[in-house]
Structure 1
Amino acid sequence: MRITGYRTLSTVHDWGRPIGDANGAVRSGTTEVPIVLLSTDSGETGVGLGSTAHIEDFFPLLDGADPRAAPALYDRMLARVFKAGHAGAVFGTIGALDMALWDLKAKAAGEPLWRTLGAADRVVPAYASALDGPLSDDELVAAHQPFAERGFGAVKLKGGLDAATDIRRLRLADEVYAAASGGRPALMLDANETWSRKEAVRHVRRIEEELDLAWVEEPVRRWDAEGLAAVSRGVRAAVATGENLTGLEQFRPLVLARAVDIVQTGSIWGITHFLRVAALAHSVDLPISPVGYNANPLCHAAAVVPNHMAVEIQDLGFPQGISADQTFEDGRVVLGDSPGLGLVVDEEAVTRANGANGWTAPASPHVRPSDAGRRLTRKPDPRRG
C-alpha cells in the first residue's frame, strides 16, 4: 500500500443551538470541520479530521510512503518543522494527516483501529460536555437531557465568569442527571483559561462550599506549570489541562512539576500524539482524558491505554456528511467493527453543507477576551456568556 494523493474538503457541524465558553460564543451554532482524504494505490482512502492549512508543506513527505508506518511518518512531519515550530494550525495539519495514516493502517489490516492498536474492549468510558456557556437555564437543561437519557454519569459545564451562576447551573445539571440515573453525577467545570491564579482559587473554593467538583479544567493558562500547581494545592478539585498543548515537550514540564492531575489531549492533534502523551502520563501514574469532538476519533486509541479515565463527548451527533460506526450506551462510547476509524464521508452531502465558520468570529471561544485573568475587582460583563 502506497499513498498516491490527497483531497481536502470542508463541512460544518450544526449544533442546533449557540455554543461557547467564558471567552465567547458562536451564536449561529455552526462551526467548520476540515477534512483530509489520503488516497492509496490499493484503493483505500484514509480519513483525517483537523486543520488542512499547511497540507501542501507536509504531503510531499507522505507521497509514495506506506501509511502503515504511521508513527515514523508522524516523526518525519515533525522533523520538517523542527526549527520553524509546530504549534497551532501546523500541529493540527500534522494531526489530521496522522489520523488519516492510522485509519489506513487499520483498513490495510481489515479491522477497526481499536483492534489494530491492541484494545481488549470496544467500550470506552465517557462524560458529557455540551459547550453550553451561552445557554439559558432552560436551554442548559434541554441540552443535557439527551446525555442524561443515554446514561452519562459525569458532566462538565462551561463557566468561570460568576461563581453564583456556576453554582446554579451545576445544581441544574446535577438534577438532570440524577433524575435520569437515580444517582449523583460527577460534576466538572471548564474555565478555558479565563482566570488568574487567585481568581481560580477564590472561584473554585466558593463553589466547593456548596458542591463537590471532580475537576476544574484549564483554570489558568495552559502552559503555566507553577500556576496550575498552585491552583491544585489551593482547591479540593483535581486540575485538568492539555487539550490545547501542541507537542509532547509542552506536557513534560507540567507532568514533571505535578502541575496537572488529569492530563488531557485534543482530538485534532492525531492518534500518535495521544498515545505518546498517554504514555508520559502513565509513567507518573496520571490519568488521561481526551477531547472527543468531530466523531470522537481518539476513542479508538483511548480504548488501549491503561490510564484512560473518560473521553469528553460534546455532541451526540456528527458533522454533516460524516457518519461514524459508534453508539452511545450507558454513558460510554461503543465502537463498531468497521475497518479503520469507522468514519464514512459522504462527499455529496459535504458539498451541500453550508454555514458560517463560527470559530473565526471576533467574539468566538477561540478569541481571548482582553479582561481574561483581570477580573478580581470587576463585575461580570452582562454582554458576555
Structure 2
Amino acid sequence: MKITGYRTLRTVHDWGRPVGDANGFVAGGVTEVPVLLVETDGGLTGVGLGAHAEADRIFPAVEDQDPRAVTALYDRMLAHTFKSGHGGAVFGTIGAFDMALWDLKAKMAGEPLWRTLGAADRFVPGYASGLDIALGDEELVALYTGWAERGFTGAKIKGGLDTERDILRLGAVAEVLRTNTRSPALMLDVNETWGRHQAVRLLARVESRVELSWIEEPVRRWDVAGNRAVGRAARTAVATGENLTGLEQFRPLLAGDAVQVVQTGSVWGITHFLRVATLAHGHDLPVSPVGYETNPLAHAAAAAPNHLVTEVQDTSAPVGITVDQVIADGGIVLGDAVGLGITVDEAALARLDETAGWAQPAGPHVRPSAAGLRLVAESGPAGRTGGDRTPDTVERLPRDGRTETESTP
C-alpha cells in the first residue's frame, strides 16, 4: 500500500464556555480544529488532527511511500525540511501527518493503535483541565463537579494573574474532588506568564496554603536556570515541555535537572511523544501528554512505561468527529475501533458556517507584551495585567472571574 494524496478539512469545537489562560481567552468558546486526511491506493484513509499549514511542503516526503514505515517517514519529513523542521508550523504539520500515518499503520494491522504500540491496558489515567481562567466561581465548581462525577481525582486550573484568586479556586476544586479522594492532586498552570523575579515568590505564596502536585510553565519554556531555581525553591514539581519541539530542545532542561514532569504537546505527533517519553524514561522522569481534541496521544501513553497522567480538557468531540473512547473512572478508556478510532463526517464539516477563535488578538495563543514583566500579580484583563494598552475592545477578567467587555483608552 502506498500514500497517494492528502486532503485538508476544518471543523470547530464548541466548548460551551469561555476557554483560555493567563495570556487571554476565547469568550465565545468556539475554536477551530484542523483535520488532515492522508489517502492511500488501498482505500484506507489516515486521520490527523492539528495545524497543517505546511502540508504542500511536507507531502512530497511521504508521497508513494508505505505508511507502515511511519517512524522512518517521520525522520524523512524532518530531513525534507531540516532547516526549519524542528519548530513552529513545519513541526506541527509533520505531527499531523505522523498522526495520520500511525492511524493508517494500525488500520492496516486491523487493530486499535494502542495494541499496535504494545500497550496491555486500554485505560489511560487522566486529570481534568478546563482551560478555565475566565470562569466565575460558580461556573468553576459546576465544571469540576462534572469531572468528579466521571471519577477524576486530579485537576489543573489556569492562573498566574492573581495568586489570591488562584488559591481560592484551587481550594474550591479540591473540595469538589474530595468526593472521590481525601487528597486531590492539584496543578496550577501559569503558561509562562511569570518572570524569574516573580516565580519563586508567588509560588511560595500559593504553596503556603495549597498542596500542589506541580506548577506548570512557571517561566519561559527554554529557561533552564529559571525552571531549576523554581524547582529548588519549591516543594512541588516543575512541569514543562508542551511547547518544546525536537529532542534537542528537551536535552538542556533534562541535563540541567530543571524539570520533574516532562510534558509533550499532542499536536506535535505520536512519534515525537514516544521519543520524548523514552528520553525522559532514561532520566527516571515521568511523562505527561498535554490534552487536545479526541486525546490522540492516549494510545501512545498507554504504551509508555513512564506515563504519569494525561490531560483531559473536555468530554465532547469537535463537530463531525466521533472517537471510540469513553471518559470515565478518572481517565480515558480506549475502544477497539481500528487505528485512532476517529471517524470524520465530511458532510457535517461541509455544512459548517461557524467562526472560531484561537487566533483572535486577545486569545491565549498571543503572548501579551507584559508577560513576565509584571511586579504584581492581580486581577485585570486576562493576559493584559501590568501595562498592556491597546485601543481595541478586549475581554477583561474581574476578581470573581466573570467576563465583561470594556474599551481600553
Counterpart of 1:44 in structure 2 is 44
For residue 334 of structure 1, give the secondary structure of its aligned residue in structure 2: strand
Counterpart of 2:386 in structure 1 is none
Higher helix fraction (1 or 2)? 1
Counterpart of 2:8 in structure 1 is 8
Q: Which moved more, 1:9-18 or 1:135-144?
A: 135-144
How far 1:176 sits from its partner (Å)? 1.1
How far 1:33 sits from its partner (Å)? 0.4
For residue 181 of structure 1, give the secondary structure of its aligned residue in structure 2: coil
Taking the aligned partners of 1:305 and 1:187, their CA distance within structure 2 comes to 23
* Residues 208-247 of structure 1 aligned to structure 2 (within 5 Å): 208-247=207-246
For residue 303 of structure 1, give the secondary structure of its aligned residue in structure 2: helix
Counterpart of 1:309 in structure 2 is 308
Q: Alpha-carbon deviations, 1:151-210, whole Å to 9, x = none?
A: 0010000000111100110011011111x3152311000000000123111111111111
Q: Which runs of 5+ in 1 are unaligned?
A: none
Taking the aligned partners of 1:128 and 1:380, their CA distance within structure 2 comes to 24
CA contact (8 A) 2:94 2:269 kept: yes
CA pair 174-74 structure 1, distance change in 2 beyond 3 A: same
* Residues 240-255 of structure 1 aligned to structure 2 (within 5 Å): 240-255=239-254
How does the TM-score come out when normalised to structure 1? 0.98
For residue 65 of structure 2, give the secondary structure of its aligned residue in structure 1: coil
Q: Alpha-carbon deviations, 1:256-302, whole Å to 9, x = none?
A: 11110000000010010000000000001000000121100100000
Taking the aligned partners of 1:161 and 1:40, their CA distance within structure 2 comes to 49
Taking the aligned partners of 1:379 and 1:305, their CA distance within structure 2 comes to 40
Question: How many residues end up aligned between the 2 structures?
Answer: 384
CA contact (8 A) 1:28 1:356 kept: no
Amino acid paired to 2:53: A
CA pair 210-58 structure 1, distance change in 2 beyond 3 A: same
Taking the aligned partners of 2:135 and 2:316, their CA distance within structure 1 comes to 19
CA contact (8 A) 2:49 2:96 kept: yes
How does the TM-score come out when normalised to structure 2? 0.92
Q: Given the alignment of the two structures, is residue 158 of structure 1 paired with residue 161 of structure 2, yes or no?
A: no
Amino acid paired to 2:74: Y
CA contact (8 A) 2:188 2:212 kept: yes
Counterpart of 2:275 in structure 1 is 276
Q: Which runs of 5+ in 2 are unaligned?
A: 382-395, 402-409
Counterpart of 2:384 in structure 1 is none
Q: Alpha-carbon deviations, 1:72-116, whole Å to 9, x = none?
A: 000011011212343111111000000000000000000000000
Counterpart of 1:349 in structure 2 is 348
Taking the aligned partners of 1:57 and 1:9, their CA distance within structure 2 comes to 17
Q: Alpha-carbon deviations, 1:316-357, whole Å to 9, x = none?
A: 111111111001221021101100000000111112233322
How far 1:128 sits from its partner (Å)? 0.4
Q: Given the alignment of the two structures, is residue 115 of structure 1 paired with residue 118 of structure 2, yes or no?
A: no
Across the aligned residues of Structure 1 and Structure 2, the Cα RMSD in angstroms comes to 1.2
CA pair 378-284 structure 1, distance change in 2 beyond 3 A: closer
Counterpart of 1:363 in structure 2 is 362
CA pair 293-245 structure 1, distance change in 2 beyond 3 A: same
Amino acid paired to 2:345: D
Taking the aligned partners of 2:227 and 2:377, their CA distance within structure 1 comes to 23
Taking the aligned partners of 2:47 and 2:154, their CA distance within structure 1 comes to 30
Taking the aligned partners of 2:161 and 2:63, their CA distance within structure 1 comes to 48
Structure 1 runs (4+) greater than 6 angstroms displaced: none
For residue 183 of structure 2, give the secondary structure of its aligned residue in structure 1: coil
Amino acid paired to 1:321: G
Taking the aligned partners of 1:381 and 1:329, their CA distance within structure 2 comes to 36
Taking the aligned partners of 1:62 and 1:108, their CA distance within structure 2 comes to 17
How far 1:377 sits from its partner (Å)? 4.5
Taking the aligned partners of 2:293 and 2:376, their CA distance within structure 1 comes to 38
Taking the aligned partners of 2:373 and 2:364, their CA distance within structure 1 comes to 18
CA contact (8 A) 1:114 1:303 kept: yes
Counterpart of 1:195 in structure 2 is 194
How far 1:230 sits from its partner (Å)? 0.6
